[in-house]
Structure formats: C-alpha cells, structure tokens
Amino acid sequence: MRYLSQIFQPVITIPRDAIIKNTEITCKSQKLLLECGLVRPTSAGFFTILPLARRVLNKLETLVHHCMEEIGAQRMSLPSLTAAKLWEKTGRLQDIGVELLKVEDRHGKKYVLSPTHEEAMADLLADIGPLSYKQLPLLLYQISNKFRDEPRPKHGLLRSREFSMLDAYGAHTTHACASETYDRVTNTYRKLFDTLQLPIHRVAAPSGAMGGTLSHEWQLTADTGEDILDMCLKCDRVVRAETVNDVCDKCASEMKRVNSIEVGHTFVLGERYSAALGAHYTARETTPTPIYMSCYGIGITRLLAASVEALGNDKALRWPDAIAPYRLLIIGPKEGSKEWSIGGWEEVQRLGQELEQVGLAGDVLLDDKHTHTIGRRMKAADRMGYPIIVVCGRSTTENPPKYELYTSKAVGYTAPILLTRTELITEVARIARNGNIDIQLASKRLYVLGFHGFSPTISYRTGFRGFYYQCRNKSGMSNYVVEAPAGPGPGGARISPVNIENASYSVLKRYNDIVKSKEDKREYRILETVVDPVHELAGSTGEIP
Ligand SMILES: [Zn+2]
C-alpha cells in the first residue's frame, strides 16, 4: 500500500503547439504520459521511464513472461551489442543499415545496438552446433531494450529510439515443425491481447527486411495509428490497405478503412539467418542442414502507449485493468471535516489494507493530500484513470457508514454507488476478479444495450466480443455480459435486434446459461450476471461509434 504524496510523478502542463526536446506533441499518449508524470523525454526519441510507467511495463512484461513460459519457451538474455560483422553476413547491414545505431570500441571493432536479435541467435546456435535433431524444436525468448535510429522520432513512446520488446526465436528441423510453433505462439498472443482487452487484429503481412515465408502483423486499431487497415463490416477479415479493398474477399461485404498501430509481428523465417551464419542441425547420418527458424516480437513500450491511444480520451489516461499503474485509489476525508475528526484517515488506512487482501495486493494507492477538497482530488484521479476509486467522504458519518464506489468509463467515472463497508469489499473483490466492464466498452469489445425492458433482446455488432445487457425486473435493473458467437451477425455492422427464444428473465440470470437466438439460430452464452448493486450505465452507449 502506497501514499499518493510519495509517488515520484512530476505533473506538468504542456502549452498548445509546444515543442519538447525538438519533438512536436502529436498524439494523446505522448501528451498525457508527459503531463501526468509517467515519462520524461531526454533527447529526441529517448525517454526516462518514471515509476508509474515502470509499473505498467513491469505488469506487461510479467504477463508476456507468463504467456511464453506457458507454451514452453525459455527465457534468456543476449547482449544489446551485436558484432556488426554478423549483420554484414546476413546482408542486413546494407539493407537496413541507416536504421541501426552503431558503436565502435577502442580497438576499432564495430557493433550494432540491436533492434532485434536474429543474427545474435543464429550465431549462438552456430557456435554450439551442429545441434542434434533431438534438441529441436527450441523456443527461446528475451524481454529487453532495443534500439532503432528513427529518422524522425515522433508520437512519444509509439516511435522511440529505445524501447522494451519481447523477442522470441524458434529453431526447427522443418517448415511443418516451424508452423506448429508458429501456431502455438500466435495462440498465446491472442490470449495475451484478450487479457488486455484491446482491439488487436492479426493481419497477414509481407516479410519485408526480415525475409522468410509467412508473417503476420498484430495491429491495434486507433485513430492516431500510422498503418491503415481495411476491416470487413460483417466478418472477421482484416487486411492491410495496400490496394483498394472495397469489398471483402471472404464474404463480399463492404469494408471500412481504419488507422492502426503495429504492436507485434510474427515470422516464419526459414533458413535465411541460419544458412548465412552456419547454424546447423544433424539428423542421424545426414550432413548438417541449416536450422529452420521462426521469430516473434511484441513492442512492450509501444503497447503501453497504444493502450492509452485506444482507451484514453483527450484529457485523461485510461488503462486495461491488468496493467493500470495502480488499480484502486482511496480518497480520504478533507482535513478538518466532520468525517476527518471521527478518525476518517485511520479508517482509510485500515480499508486500504483490507482491499489489498481481495485480489489487489500491491495495487492500492491512498490519496493522502488531505488539504485538497475531495472534488479536486477526484479530478486529478480522473486524469490518471485508476480503474476503481473509493471515496470516504461525508456519507461515512452515517449509521452504518457508507462508502462511494466509482469505476472508470471511457470518459469520466460511473455515478457513485453507496455501499456499506462489507458490500464495498465484496464489490471491489468482484471487479478485481472480473475486470472493469466500462473499460471493455471503451476498447469496443462490448456493446451496451442499456435498458431493454423485461423481454430479453440482444443486439450485436461485428468485432465485439459480447454485449453488456441490462434487463429490468421487479426489484430493479440487472446486468449481463453475453458472449456473441464468432462470425457475421444478421445485421452485420448495423445494430439489429435478435430475439432470444425462450430466454425468460430467470433463464438469463443463471451464469453460463446458453440461450438460443431465434433469428440466426445460434447460441449465446451468459458470461456474467451482475444482479446487485445496480450499476448505472447511462451514456455508455455513446462511446460506441
Ligand atoms: Zn467479410
């Protein structure tokens, strides 16, 4: 548990059209991360990562680490400097030389500050080789800082010269074996991006400077993105907008052009690097054969900035639950108030300790700026985008004391829910477990129907994971998250109602119930029901384009 006043967070205000360290402020993540004291530029394209942003990166790296270990990958560390002669041997010193930051030691030996490590990895395999076919396949990875000499660094952390990146390398005997690893890694990418609740699409890509036979980009749709995609309005087809793609080649529906940010890239490389650097394996009596390689990258620093681009608004940061710097802020009473005089601040500290025990260990921050009004501190908290805020204000003097619970929305926070202490702890535990639905809305993975009366009605839109559904019964509103089946809906992008056959209120209420759609004959699974307390969502539909 930490105190807000102790956080090293140099907050500043950037004037309009400001140029900071020779760099224009061109996008919201760049502006907000600097203004809110998460990063500081040192020179064009280089940044000091301050404690709050470091926490986000730590969480991202831990998530990536768990995903990779789960599929049997092994972590290691390669040096940042790679001998330039290796890059010469693979031809990349010539091909992408201008993008490489180079250094020379006192003996005149040249090195590259690596943007990626195919050369270093192939050289390692060559050095210990030839490997036996029995040692393959191998999947090795590292998470470390990489360097790229961007001609014009811009958009802050989205295009910086030094960045944290996951890079993983597969070593195989055959293309078939490499394809198997490729599927395994891309499945874990999907799982990771689902955990982050970000709208990230896998898009077929040319292999470019990397060489190889198969490649995908992992693209997050965001207005500030520099890449352009065409998305089918009906099915899940997403392609790079290199040519005119008016019509989907899968279902012949209309396509929509969107901007996006590349956050990951995966390749089946083949023998380009292993053949050039002599990384071989032997199978029984055969002569040594070049290892068949694959490689995988995720831009960790870029993912931090891209999350802010996707979820934040012009004035405030917003985070996926899993990586928010702190997930919960408790705002205590103002000094000298009635609630302060009855031991309000001591209660805030006790409450903080208890909330750390319900799934938020190390993620609770106490606002100890007692001299500021609660309103002023709420405003500052909104800017930081804590997923959950608890206010211990005037209503804590009631009998029994009531606490105000807020959860972040794309813009602002939900209206406060007044809860007793026990109710508060139960509700915070539930949110800690299930995540903040409003942020899933902001990432456009869910569509809010709002009030649809007693008779259950469901709508869906292509690209959404499910619906947030509200239904009124005698005792008030109830909320449901319903998973939509994959594939095109009856109305495509047009929001159209689908009647659910035999789905009475009582049927819908049960967790994991399957309900069948009358219109498209498919099944919908109830993922979550939230019966109490009532969670007011007025205005949430406005966030969906
Ligand atoms: Zn389509």
Looking at the domain assignment, is residue 317 inside a domain? no
What is the Å distance from ligand 1's center to 236 Cα?
6
What is the Å distance from ligand 1's center to 264 Cα?
23
What is the Å distance from ligand 1's center to 239 Cα?
11
427 plus 512 within the same structural domain: no
What is the Å distance from ligand 1's center to 473 Cα?
38
| Contacts of 402 by beta carbon, 8 Å cutoff, 6+ apart | 395, 396, 418, 419, 420
Domain end point (choices 395, 412, 438)? 438
Looking at the domain assignment, is residue 70 inside a domain? yes
Cis check: omega of the bond before 533, within 30 degrees of 0: yes
Quote the pLDDT of residue 67.
95
Looking at the domain assignment, is residue 463 inside a domain? yes
Looking at the domain assignment, is residue 93 inside a domain? yes
What is the Å distance from ligand 1's center to 246 Cα?
11
What is the Å distance from ligand 1's center to 19 Cα?
43
118 plus 213 within the same structural domain: yes
What is the Å distance from ligand 1's center to 294 Cα?
29
Only one residue has tokens 């991360």, namely: 33
What is the Å distance from ligand 1's center to 543 Cα?
24
CATH number at residue 334: 3.40.50.800
Looking at the domain assignment, is residue 316 inside a domain? no
177 plus 203 within the same structural domain: yes
Quote the pLDDT of residue 125.
97
139 plus 50 within the same structural domain: yes
384 plus 455 within the same structural domain: no
Looking at the domain assignment, is residue 367 inside a domain? yes
Give phi and psi for 494, each to the nearest 5. Answer: -70, 130
394 plus 473 within the same structural domain: no
What is the Å distance from ligand 1's center to 266 Cα?
23
202 plus 69 within the same structural domain: yes
What is the Å distance from ligand 1's center to 250 Cα?
5
Domain end point (choices 438, 461, 491)? 438
156 plus 290 within the same structural domain: yes
Domain count of the fold of the chain: 3
Looking at the domain assignment, is residue 392 inside a domain? yes
Q: Which of 143, 142, 140, 144 is CA-nearest to residue 170? A: 140
What is the Å distance from ligand 1's center to 254 Cα?
8
449 plus 432 within the same structural domain: no
Quote the pLDDT of residue 245.
79
370 plus 225 within the same structural domain: no
Residue 27's domain spans which residues? Answer: 2-311
Residue 298 and residue 218 in contact, taking contact as beta carbons nearer than 8 Å: yes
- Facing residues of 74 across strands? 140
Longest dimension (CA), the chain: 86
What is the Å distance from ligand 1's center to 487 Cα?
9
What is the Å distance from ligand 1's center to 207 Cα?
24
ipTM over 0.85: yes
Going residue by residue through the chain (545 aa), what tens digit of pLDDT does each one get? 899 999 999 998 888 777 877 778 888 999 999 999 999 999 989 999 999 999 999 999 999 999 999 999 999 999 999 999 999 999 999 988 899 999 999 999 999 999 999 999 999 999 998 999 999 999 999 999 999 998 888 899 999 999 999 999 999 999 999 999 999 999 999 989 988 878 889 999 886 666 677 899 999 988 888 899 998 777 778 899 887 778 888 888 888 888 999 999 999 999 999 999 999 999 887 899 999 999 999 999 999 999 999 899 889 999 999 999 999 999 999 999 999 999 999 999 999 999 999 999 999 999 999 999 999 999 999 999 999 999 999 999 999 999 999 988 878 888 788 899 998 998 898 888 767 655 554 444 443 333 333 223 333 333 333 444 444 333 333 444 444 333 333 322 222 233 332 232 322 333 334 444 444 454 544 444 333 222 333 223 322 22
What DSSP element (H or E) covers 507? helix 505-509
**What type of residue is 142?**
Q
- Whole-angstrom distance, CA of residue 323 vs CA of residue 524: 29
145 plus 228 within the same structural domain: yes
132 plus 270 within the same structural domain: yes
Looking at the domain assignment, is residue 321 inside a domain? no
Burial degree of 356 (CB within 10 A; 0-12, 13-18, 19+): middle
Quote the pLDDT of residue 305.
97
What is the Å distance from ligand 1's center to 542 Cα?
26
Q: Which of 103, 113, 102 is CA-nearest to residue 144? A: 113
What is the Å distance from ligand 1's center to 231 Cα?
8
Structure token pair of residue 418: 């007044």
Domain end point (choices 287, 311, 335)? 311
Residue 428 and residue 328 in contact, taking contact as beta carbons nearer than 8 Å: yes
What is the Å distance from ligand 1's center to 280 Cα?
43
What is the Å distance from ligand 1's center to 201 Cα?
14
The 3-state secondary structure of 43-90 reads: ECCEEEECHHHHHHHHHHHHHHHHHHHHCCCEECCCCCEEEHHHHHHC
What is the Å distance from ligand 1's center to 233 Cα?
7
What is the Å distance from ligand 1's center to 255 Cα?
8
Quote the pLDDT of residue 336.
94
Q: Which of 334, 331, 346, 355 is CA-nearest to residue 424? A: 355
Quote the pLDDT of residue 210.
66
What is the Å distance from ligand 1's center to 238 Cα?
8
What is the Å distance from ligand 1's center to 489 Cα?
11
